[in-house]
Structure 1
Amino acid sequence: MYPESPFPDRRIFCIDSVSFYASCECRYRNLPPLTTKLAVVSDLKRSGSVVLAASPALKKLGIKTASRLYQIEQLPVRERKQILLVEPQMLAYMKTSIEVLDVLHQFAPLDAIRIYSIDENFIDMTGTERLFGTDDEAAQAIQSAIWEQTGIPVRIGIGPNNVVAKLVLDLLGKREGIARCGYADVSRLLHDFPIRKMWGVGQKMEQHLLALGIETIGDLAASRVEDLHERFGVLGAELWHHAWGIDSSPTTIDPTALFQTSPAVQRTIGHGVTLMRDYYQYEQIRLVLAELAGDVAARVRFSNQVGWTVHLGVRYSRHVLRSGFSKQLRLPYPTADERLLLRHLLQLFEPNWMEGEPIRFLSVALGQLTADQGTLQLSLFEDNRKVWRRKRLLKAMDRVNLRYGKGTIRLAVSFLDTSVAKRRLRFVGGHPGGDLHDTLP
């Protein structure tokens, strides 16, 4: 039986750009995005690199997002010759995403739009019927405006709330272009799809649900909410409500909330990096550890915290029998100073690494975080005035990097060829950002 929804019936549009990165690259080259066979690959020099985006025409050949470059190389020669391979330009994609957002502002005010990801947005079109017509008319107008002004094709799902709009987009809209689903249509349109298609159900949750005999979204809706809550907690009850199209989450949020520090204290802040080649020499490895320590310490200071526990993770090349090691120790007093952090990291590293062992991955973390009270831990063995000046210096460096961009002030050794910081500064979201002069407006 379909439960009666206590939530208002709004007009929520979920707008998704078609193969966004690939469509952007087609636009930059004046190529048709729906018929051009193009793949955005993380690194064209490695056959195992991941395909970040494949155009619709390329997907018909079996190449999809998360495919590997070698799979493209295995296609027949006649097909390969028609495929354009490019590396990502994340800063350019962010600019294009902002252009799409500017078009949406022509249909709704800022406070009616929620940015979900770089290629997907929710927009509340409630009350705009007299301006833009019916759901289909408004959706077609948005599609046309985005295409004409940005060259990016989009698909749209329409529903009474975020969940229904997202589900109908993923399940029907990506095939039909525009799809709509109301509360009364949920069971007819959505319940026959496999449970893995449910928004919020990952691989692990799918396995748990299949073990309970829940194979479709309809099966989930037919289950007892009490049983799901007992088994999976609040998440189980939420999934049951979503299966019926019930969602109380707001479409829009206060943008200023994104920049407010959460009152909850984080317990650990860390960062890891996979090296582009095996590192054998101590000085090269020490440089990477220094850069990771600096990155972690800066993030800890930005959160206005200090940490008690330092953690080091090391993973060797896959050609070595030993997989690596993981060590941690408690500091004599809490800190967010990368110099002290590096000193203890080397204490963990040196006795556990055999000289010449090839390292491919390093991670650093500072744990047991607590709020920084702005006080100084006095020491009988150090010049406390120097320690205080050092703390003020780090805060000043943080302010400069925050205002003018990460890496504005950094260690001179980061310009060495073995530095990972120099390469990471050109990355956005873990992928090349494009030309260094290509910055956000």
Structure 2
Amino acid sequence: MRPCRFHVDLDAFFASVEQIDRPELKGKPVIVGAAPGRRGVVSTCSYEARAFGLHSAMPISEAYRRCPQGVYLPVRMQRYEEISREIMDILKDFTPDLHQLSIDEALMDMTGTERLWGEPENAAMRIKEKIREATGLTISIGVSINSYVAKIASGLRKPDGLCIVREGGEKDFMARLPLEKLWGAGEKTRTLLNGLGIHSVAELQGLPLSLLEVKLGRAAARFLSEAALGRDPGIYNVESRRSSMSGERTFERDTSERQRLIDALRLISDELAARTIRGDSACTLGLKLRFSDFSCIHRQFSRDEAFVSAGEILEGAIGLLDENWDGRRPVRLIGISLQGLKPLSAFQSSLFQEGPSKSEKARRVMQEIDSKGLGQLVRARFLPRDASGNSDEEQ
């Protein structure tokens, strides 16, 4: 049976939700994230804002310098999670084999569904129509026999795009792309490849693996070689996703700045905390770091109480970061996972405890905070510090 993978990506998700909820914002540059004048980053921005060069994870100060006329809004994670849950439920109507990769991204195994939904193009158009009717939002879909090429394809025709790569055409599809479109190849890697005379994926396809290994190391070379040829280098571990939830951020430029890593961890923590509001959580937290040489480490720890709030998740992730990263190795990707998901009721601190558990109480408090638009509150010790050692919150 021919494999068929759909990679579904919501278009400028947070900003698009704000434009749907507030129609007067349509056509305007909308930036969701930290407030101007505060330290922080852009979480998501609308396509109107991207025309000014803005992008996710950009420092908010730089975003404001480029687009002072933009509409800057706080993150409303509970609202985004509500819409995300509605969309994921729609996707499950098309296949039970759905793997939610983040709050705005999913991988669908559509193998064998042709008798239900027809050819992939027909199925994809029906999915897009259903989501637009239910939410007013647009999505972009990439279709291929493997997950990596499907992910690349979903990003090529945004917004509201559909890109289908037919079986057997993966190598030719990748060959037409510039290096900038090769997911996983950061700026330093591209610069190194440029020094070898490589400026396109087609040229990379012709480079001997042995030469790549000398220049980049074995792990990075094999990853790039497989990716360039349109093979899946294994970017998604979907087997464990039914019992875990995770989020990742890939940096446009590899970074050794601790604050940039913490800013990314904060965004991921917010997303995961919003997803725990559904009623599931875990007491095992994992941190993933992929370095500039494509080597990767995974570290985790467990505790008795469930991780419920964004602050708890962030605190645990920062602890793992500080224990396992000395600042010398540039980081390409960072991620957090919550593993061994269970209903929050399973984390009762005592068999005979009366009333809600501490985890359940925390969940209710965080849900109330988020519903009032205060979901970006963080512990003061995670805020950037000035030269005197004081955080913004302390000044």
Which one of the candidate residues 85, 102, 115 is aligned to 2:72? 85
Give the 3-state SS of the residue equivalent to 2:377 in structure 1.
helix
- 1:46 and 1:228, CA in 2 relative to 1: closer, same or farther beyond 3 A? same
- 1:20 and 1:225, CA in 2 relative to 1: closer, same or farther beyond 3 A? same
The alpha carbon displacement at 1:37 in A equals 1.2
Which whole-Å deviations, capped at 9, do the CAs of 1:113-141 have from their partners, x for residues lacking one? 11122111110111111211222111110
Instruction: Report whether the alignment pairs 1:191 with 2:175.
Output: yes
User: Which residues of structure 1 form unaligned runs of 5+?
Assistant: 1-7, 260-270, 276-301, 305-335, 337-362, 369-394, 409-420, 431-441
Contact 2:223 2:233 in 1 (8 A): no
Instruction: Report whether the alignment pairs 1:13 with 2:3.
Output: no
User: Which residues of structure 2 form unaligned runs of 5+?
Assistant: 246-257, 263-282, 286-302, 304-317, 325-348, 366-374, 385-395
- 1:168 and 1:74, CA in 2 relative to 1: closer, same or farther beyond 3 A? closer
User: In structure 1, what is the equivalent of residue 227 of structure 2?
Assistant: 242
Output the amino acid matched with 1:246: R
User: In structure 2, what is the equivalent of residue 328 of structure 1?
Assistant: none
Instruction: Report whether the alignment pairs 1:50 with 2:7.
Output: no
Give the 3-state SS of the residue equivalent to 2:244 in structure 1.
helix
Contact 1:108 1:123 in 2 (8 A): yes
- 1:183 and 1:75, CA in 2 relative to 1: closer, same or farther beyond 3 A? same
Q: How does 1:374-413 map to 2 (within 5 A)?
A: 400-405=357-362
Instruction: Report whether the alignment pairs 1:424 with 2:381.
Output: no
Quote the Cα distance in structure 1 between the aligned partners of 2:114 and 2:217.
Answer: 41
**Greater CA radius of gyration, 1 or 2?**
1
Output the amino acid matched with 2:241: P
Quote the Cα distance in structure 1 between the aligned partners of 2:72 and 2:242.
Answer: 39
Which whole-Å deviations, capped at 9, do the CAs of 1:296-347 have from their partners, x for residues lacking one? xxxxxx669xxxxxxxxxxxxxxxxxxxxxxxxxxxxxxx9xxxxxxxxxxx
The alpha carbon displacement at 1:224 in A equals 1.4
- 1:138 and 1:257, CA in 2 relative to 1: closer, same or farther beyond 3 A? same
User: In structure 1, what is the equivalent of residue 267 of structure 2?
Assistant: none
Quote the Cα distance in structure 1 between the aligned partners of 2:93 and 2:363.
Answer: 33
Output the amino acid matched with 2:362: G
Output the amino acid matched with 2:149: V
Which one of the candidate residues 100, 108, 114 is aligned to 2:99? 114
Instruction: Report whether the alignment pairs 1:182 with 2:166.
Output: yes
User: In structure 1, what is the equivalent of residue 51 of structure 2?
Assistant: 60
State, as a whole percentage, how many aligned pairs show the same letter. Answer: 24
Quote the Cα distance in structure 2 between the aligned partners of 1:241 and 1:274.
Answer: 28
Which one of the candidate residues 204, 210, 225 is aligned to 2:194? 210
Which whole-Å deviations, capped at 9, do the CAs of 1:395-421 have from their partners, x for residues lacking one? 889x9544543798xxxxxxxxxxxx9
Quote the Cα distance in structure 2 between the aligned partners of 1:140 and 1:220.
Answer: 33
Contact 2:170 2:231 in 1 (8 A): no
User: In structure 2, what is the equivalent of residue 167 of structure 1?
Assistant: 152
Which whole-Å deviations, capped at 9, do the CAs of 1:76-135 have from their partners, x for residues lacking one? 9xxx3xx533221122212211111011011111xx111122111110111111211222
The TM-score normalised by the length of structure 2 is: 0.59
The alpha carbon displacement at 1:151 in A equals 2.0
Quote the Cα distance in structure 2 between the aligned partners of 1:237 and 1:144.
Answer: 39
Which one of the candidate residues 190, 194, 210 is aligned to 1:226? 210
Report the count of equivalent residues: 279
Which whole-Å deviations, capped at 9, do the CAs of 1:19-48 have from their partners, x for residues lacking one? 00101111222468xx52142342334177
Aligned-residue Cα RMSD (Å) equals 4.1
Give the 3-state SS of the residue equivalent to 1:107 in structure 2.
coil
Quote the Cα distance in structure 2 between the aligned partners of 1:132 and 1:256.
Answer: 24
Output the amino acid matched with 2:17: C
Quote the Cα distance in structure 2 between the aligned partners of 1:367 and 1:251.
Answer: 24
Instruction: Report whether the alignment pairs 1:253 with 2:235.
Output: no
- 1:50 and 1:252, CA in 2 relative to 1: closer, same or farther beyond 3 A? closer
User: In structure 1, what is the equivalent of residue 288 of structure 2?
Assistant: none
Instruction: Report whether the alignment pairs 1:22 with 2:15.
Output: yes
Quote the Cα distance in structure 2 between the aligned partners of 1:156 and 1:422.
Answer: 31
Contact 1:124 1:251 in 2 (8 A): no
User: In structure 1, what is the equivalent of residue 28 of structure 2?
Assistant: 37
Quote the Cα distance in structure 2 between the aligned partners of 1:30 and 1:180.
Answer: 32
Contact 1:48 1:70 in 2 (8 A): no
Q: How does 1:281-292 map to 2 (within 5 A)?
A: none
The alpha carbon displacement at 1:145 in A equals 0.6
